[in-house]
């Protein structure tokens, strides 16, 4: 009877195509080539590392690796520092480097790692490559009953793309030094090499200017980086093989500048500007027809260009709708006089002037895709960020830019702040199929994950960036055909654990919020709900950008949740496996459903003593309701009437309602489990 029932459940199968195969190593990004050999290098207290070649940076990185290994294993290696002078052929681990790499686009980052039962040999043309080899090795530590070891193997590795970045937005919410440093640690651990630092926007200006101290005095609420701190960040990143590229968004996204210098604005009626505390696209814009604008930018960008050694300088340039230009007669007159046909052309006029300032400072201009214009020289880098949401199809702006001869970097598909799954980011194609010539392909420099901070604070930023950024890093480093989503998630869990050991707060910060919300009570039931809930995706959590103010608390239920709700993901895969014929998964499925069914009664007791949790009372009830549906649906004794199926569809539909700006992630797999199609559910919703 039971077997028969199981067969019944399997009848309406979605074809199961997700055949997953474990990668040869639990490393992320997956190396280009791994050859597993016989035997293991066993880690003992006598482990020692010698360095041949390289400089101070490699010495620091190797010491960090050695001490990290000590943390991971507790073996207490007597070698305290791995110094450049430490060249001893008898040491079991050897790091061999030909030269110190430069932090430039296209520098050699390759390495070879040979692990035998008696030796660990890391070889690389540059220290940057060797440092990547060290992070690979960090991720290769395994243990068994006898202790810790590295599996014998040969790894040959090099990045697929030269530009692998993370954009940190410190404008909407300030990110203190330790948050910046931890993000850089995380980037280094997944072999990223560009930190794009978004330092100004409508909400604030975040960097000390000695030429224009008014910027921070009037437009930072006292939260900004001193130039000394910026130097510290640049050095910290450089020590980890990471370039730091600043962004100062002009001519739009510049209300902070205008609060300090209102006379540079384009609104003919404004004598003052006030920074935004909401999210969105706003009208205030620098006046491109005012000579004072360029005088100001020349002084400011010259000062900033000297501070950041990176050859690239990002000027933003996005989302300028030019309303203030259109409504300003003097700007209109200027356009007519100079034969500037529209606002886009006026922005190109502005960008060209800015480009001259940057050129004088030996900087290459980079800007969001809106800066593309025939008049802009092809030394500029086009940063592609829009895609099918705007109806252009994924990557279209990337193709347009490359075909016009611009080097490009992709961020469309990598918007971490929208809280889509790691799978979504992972499935992004960086190299458009339309590009066939090598010359065109070479113009695709790589990509950047972007972490806009309208809805995150220093407390939650890391829990949005990590571990998902590791999936983006793999997309940008590993071969194009590394695409097994199940295996990616398997390794993402491991790397997330390792990132915490590296010092990241992405797990801890959420636990802290959960304790805050539980108001001193037991947290288990709350954890159970968090583990199946995700914040509303895209721009839906913050309708019209006005539900939240930037100074509000972001330590609510939605902030305790993150993308890739782990139990929902686990459940989804269990259902997939079960539907693919792995009948032994049924017990795990039942266990999870029972946990959820019983959870509401427990959680309601907690909610009763924590007013902040009231907003998820409904969500908690919904979870129990859908779990009941699921349990009924897999119960061989339960009679599935048409009425029941109809009611089940209604319940599942209802359970899609948000609570606490979050949504349950188990609806679809439960529907799949009991054989209800999306269409059936929609119909009852009708």
Closest separation between CB of residue 439 and a second copy, Å? 45
Three-class SS state of 52: strand
How far apart, in whole angstroms, are the C-alpha atoms of residue 245 and residue 234?
9
Q: Which is nearer to a second copy, 196 or 240 (CB)?
A: 240
Site residues, a second copy (CB under 8 A): 67, 70-74, 76, 78, 80-81, 143, 145-148, 176-178, 221, 226, 228, 277, 493-494, 497, 500-501, 505, 507-509, 511-512, 515-516, 519-520, 549, 551-553, 555-556, 608-612
Shortest Å distance, C-beta 61 to a second copy: 14
**Rounded to an integer, what distance in angstroms lies between the CA atom of residue 49 and that of residue 47?**
7
122: β partners: 95, 113
Q: Give every CB contact of residue 65 below 8 A, 6+ residues apart in sequence.
A: 49, 82, 134, 137, 138
Q: What is d(CA 347, CA 286) in angstroms, rounded to the nearest whole number?
A: 10
What element of type H or E holds 558?
helix 557-560
The nearer residue to a second copy, 78 or 391, going by C-beta atoms, is 78
In the bound state with a second copy, the residue whose beta carbon lies nearer, of 35 and 497, is 497
CB of 70 to a second copy, least distance (A): 5
Burial of 393 (0-12, 13-18, 19+ CB in 10 A): exposed
Smallest CA-to-CA distance from 36 within 120, 141, 147, 115 is with 115
DSSP 19: -
Least CB distance to a second copy at residue 67 (A): 7
Between residues 156 and 500, which has the closer beta carbon with respect to a second copy?
A: 500
Closest separation in Å from C-beta 110 to a second copy: 29
Tokens representing 363 are 């900087």
Look up tokens 């959590």; give the residue. Answer: 541
Shortest Cβ distance from residue 76 to a second copy (Å)?
5
Rounded to whole angstroms, the Cα distance separating 599 from 627 reads: 10
Minimum Å gap between C-beta 594 and a second copy is 18
113: three-class secondary structure by DSSP = strand
Please identify, using beta-carbon distances, which residue of 179 and 443 lies nearer to a second copy.
179
Element spanning 644, H or E: helix 642-654
Provide the minimum distance between the beta carbon of 301 and a second copy in the complex, in angstroms, as a whole number: 25
Q: Rounding to the nearest 10 degrees, give the CA dihedral for residues 626, 631, 637, 641.
A: 20
In order of 101, 107, 112, 161, 466, the CA distances from 63 in angstroms are: 18, 23, 19, 28, 25
| Burial group, residue 375, by CB count within 10 angstroms (0-12, 13-18, 19+) | exposed
Token digits of residue 145:
């009953």
User: Would you state the structure tokens that stand for residue 35, as one six-digit string?
Assistant: 């050859």
The tokens of 66 are what?
Answer: 């050695």
* Contact in structure between 92 and 48 (CB atoms under 8 Å): yes
* Closer CB to a second copy, 389 or 587, in the complex: 587
Closer of 23 and 631 to a second copy (Cβ): 23
Whole-angstrom Cα distance, residue 384 to residue 428?
13
| Nearer to a second copy (CB atom), residue 428 or residue 509 | 509
Instruction: List the catalytic residues.
Output: 319
Gap between the Cα atoms of 185 and 189, Å rounded: 6
Instruction: Say which residue the tokens 């020289």 belong to.
Output: 377
- Give the number of other CB atoms < 10 A from CB of residue 520: 9
User: Of the two residues 56 and 375, which places its CB atom closer to a second copy in the complex?
Assistant: 56
Q: Which contacts qualify for 343-351: CB closer than 8 Å, 24 or more apart?
A: 344/370, 344/373, 345/373, 346/288, 346/322, 347/251, 347/288, 347/317, 347/320, 347/322, 347/371, 347/373, 348/373, 348/375, 348/376, 349/288, 350/250, 350/251, 350/286, 350/288, 351/315, 351/317, 351/376
Closest separation in Å from C-beta 494 to a second copy: 7
Q: How far is the CB of 224 from a second copy (least distance, A)?
A: 13
Interatomic CA distance for residues 445 and 425, integer angstroms? 17
Q: How far is the CB of 453 from a second copy (least distance, A)?
A: 17
Beta carbon nearer to a second copy, 400 or 610? 610
Q: Which CB sits closer to a second copy, 33 or 226?
A: 226
Of residues 661, 664, 640, the one with CA closest to residue 652 = 664
CB of 640 to a second copy, least distance (A): 35
DSSP state of 637: T
Looking at the Cβ atoms of 502 and 577, the one nearer to a second copy is 502
Min dist CB 139 to a second copy, Å, is 13
Would you say 16 or 552 has its CB closer to a second copy? 552
What is the spatial distance between Cα 53 and Cα 87, in angstroms, rounded to a whole number? Answer: 9
Measure the CA–CA gap between 388 and 415, rounded to whole angstroms. Answer: 13
Query: Taking Cα atoms as reference points, which of 532, 531, 543, 538 lies closest to residue 507?
Result: 531
């Amino acid at each position: 009877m039971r077997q028969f029932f199981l067969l019944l459940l399997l009848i309406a199968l979605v074809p199961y195509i997700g055949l997953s195969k474990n990668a040869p190593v639990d490393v992320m990004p997956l190396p280009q080539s791994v050859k597993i050999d016989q035997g293991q290098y066993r880690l003992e207290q006598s482990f020692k590392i010698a360095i041949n070649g390289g400089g101070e940076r490699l010495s620091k990185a190797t010491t960090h690796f050695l001490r990290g290994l000590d943390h991971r294993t507790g073996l207490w290696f007597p070698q305290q520092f791995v110094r450049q002078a430490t060249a001893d052929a008898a040491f079991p681990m050897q790091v061999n480097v030909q030269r110190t790499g430069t932090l430039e686009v296209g520098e050699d980052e390759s390495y070879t790692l040979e692990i035998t039962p008696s030796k660990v040999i890391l070889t690389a043309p540059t220290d940057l490559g060797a440092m990547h080899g060290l992070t690979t090795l960090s991720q290769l530590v395994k243990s068994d009953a006898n202790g810790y070891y590295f599996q014998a193997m040969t790894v040959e590795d090099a990045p697929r793309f030269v530009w692998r970045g993370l954009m940190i937005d410190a404008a909407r919410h300030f990110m203190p030094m330790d948050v910046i440093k931890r993000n850089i640690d995380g980037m280094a651990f997944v072999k990223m090499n560009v930190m794009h630092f978004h330092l100004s926007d409508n909400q604030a200006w975040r960097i000390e200017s000695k030429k224009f101290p008014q910027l921070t005095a009037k437009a930072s609420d006292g939260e900004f980086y001193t130039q000394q701190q910026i130097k510290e960040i640049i050095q910290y990143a450089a020590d980890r093989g990471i370039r730091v590229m600043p962004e100062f968004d002009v001519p739009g996204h510049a209300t902070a500048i205008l609060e300090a210098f209102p006379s540079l604005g384009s609104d003919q009626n404004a004598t003052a500007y006030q920074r935004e505390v909401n999210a969105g696209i706003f009208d205030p814009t620098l006046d491109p027809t005012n000579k004072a604008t360029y005088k100001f930018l020349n002084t400011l960008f010259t000062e900033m260009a000297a501070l950041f050694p990176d050859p690239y300088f990002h000027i933003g340039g996005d989302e300028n709708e030019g309303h203030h230009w259109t409504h300003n007669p003097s700007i209109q007159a200027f356009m007519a006089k100079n034969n500037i046909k529209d606002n886009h052309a006026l922005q190109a006029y502005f960008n060209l002037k800015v480009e001259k300032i940057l050129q004088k400072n030996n900087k290459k201009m980079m800007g969001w895709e809106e800066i593309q214009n025939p008049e802009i020289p092809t030394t500029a880098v086009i940063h592609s960020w829009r895609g099918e949401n705007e109806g252009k199809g994924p990557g279209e702006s990337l193709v347009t830019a490359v075909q016009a001869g611009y080097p490009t970097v992709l961020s469309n598909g990598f918007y971490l702040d929208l809280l889509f799954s790691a799978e979504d980011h992972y499935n992004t194609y960086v190299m458009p199929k339309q590009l066939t010539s090598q010359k065109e392909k070479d113009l695709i420099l790589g990509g950047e994950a972007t972490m806009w901070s309208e809805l995150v604070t220093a407390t939650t930023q890391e829990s949005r960036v990590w571990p998902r950024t590791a999936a983006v890093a793999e997309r940008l480093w590993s071969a194009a055909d590394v695409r097994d989503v199940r295996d990616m998630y398997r390794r993402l869990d491991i790397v997330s654990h390792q990132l915490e050991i590296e010092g990241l707060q992405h797990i801890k910060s959420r636990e802290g919020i959960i304790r805050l919300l539980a108001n001193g009570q037991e947290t288990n039931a709350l954890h159970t709900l968090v583990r199946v809930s995700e914040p509303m995706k895209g721009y839906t959590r913050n309708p019209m950008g006005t539900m939240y103010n930037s100074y509000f608390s972001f330590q609510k239920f939605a902030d305790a949740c993150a993308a890739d709700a782990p139990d929902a993901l686990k459940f989804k895969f269990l259902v997939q496996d079960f539907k693919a014929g792995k009948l032994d998964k049924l017990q795990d499925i039942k266990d999870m459903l029972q946990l959820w069914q019983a959870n509401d009664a427990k959680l309601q007791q907690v909610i009763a003593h924590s007013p902040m949790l009231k907003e998820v009372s409904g969500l908690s009830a919904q979870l129990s309701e859908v779990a009941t549906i699921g349990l009924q649906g897999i119960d061989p004794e339960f009679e599935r009437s048409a009425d029941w199926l109809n009611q089940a569809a209604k319940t599942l539909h209802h359970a899609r309602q948000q609570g606490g700006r979050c949504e349950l992630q188990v609806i679809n797999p439960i529907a799949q489990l009991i054989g209800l199609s999306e269409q059936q559910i929609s119909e009852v919703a009708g």
